[in-house]
Amino acid sequence: MYRVVLVDDERMILEGLSRVVPWEKLGCAVSGTASNGREGLDLVRRVKPHILMTDIRMPNMDGLTMVAALRSEFPDLQITVLTAFRDFEYAQTALNLGVCRYLLKPSKMDELDEAIHAMIARLDALPKTEAPEPAEPAGPAGLAGNYIVRQALDYMRAHCAERLSLGDVAEQVYVSQWHLSKLINRHTNQSFLDILNNMRIEKARQLLAGSGLRIHEVAEQCGYSDLGHFSRNFKKLTGQTPGEFRDSASHGE
């Protein structure tokens, strides 16, 4: 039996999908429902379903990032989106990330039926023995991982001056710390801390060259509470101390 999870913030839709679709005849069973995206993510990770039918325009949830997170973490998960959001580029991105079907509400029964049969057909076509995950998943799973990394890097860049942990960033892109660390290493060949440090030093270079802030003030604005630690990192990455860099920048070197 294929396990199914249903996620939607409209209770009537959850009840309708649970009751109207002949899941048992299709060789499926509804293993759980959730009324918001966060609950849905937790449910998917707990139940590990084969099929997910979900809205992706729910409060406090970036739907595309949610889909990318699930596809990168569970490459074989079959997803059908049910949404009232009529945006071609949004739908195209969702499909590129590996969504099986993108259906607009209110969906007709024949559309739902076709989507469910398409997901089951994909599952039936999968190898029955579990193969080791490749170093770089091909197709939508690889694209989803790349999408997650881009979202994570954008968030890090915007918040690099703050106290920022891998867990903080993972929470923003809806994956576990372990999974985000693996994706970052795979797609950038760098660690989270190396990337964060590079972003902070780049911000420091800009401030040293273009502001009258004192060096300890630059360090604080770039997320360093210890001036000595900042100076050592700055020289390691630039070959100069912060003071030497400022002097050379002021002379146009």
* CATH H-level, domain 2-125: superfamily: Response regulator (3.40.50.2300)
Q: Tokens in use for 39? A: 């609950």
Q: Tell me which residue of 46, 42, 66 sits closest to 54, measured CA to CA.
A: 66
**Is the pTM of the predicted complex or chain greater than 0.75?**
yes
Q: Report pLDDT for 86.
A: 86
Q: Any residues with CB less than 8 A from the CB of 225 and at least 6 apart, and which?
A: none
Contacts of 93 (CB under 8 A, 6+ apart): 64
pLDDT band at residue 250 using 50, 70 and 90 as cut-offs: confident
Considering only residues 129 and 120, tell me which one the structure prediction assigns the higher pLDDT: 120
Which of the two residues, 140 and 192, has the higher pLDDT score? 192
- Which residue has 């969702």 as its token pair? 94
- Residue 35: its pLDDT value, please? 87
**Mean pLDDT of the 43-54 span:** 94
The domain defined by 195-250 folds into Arc Repressor Mutant, subunit A (1.10.10)
**Digit-coded pLDDT (tens) for 55-89:** 888 777 778 888 899 999 999 999 999 988 888 88
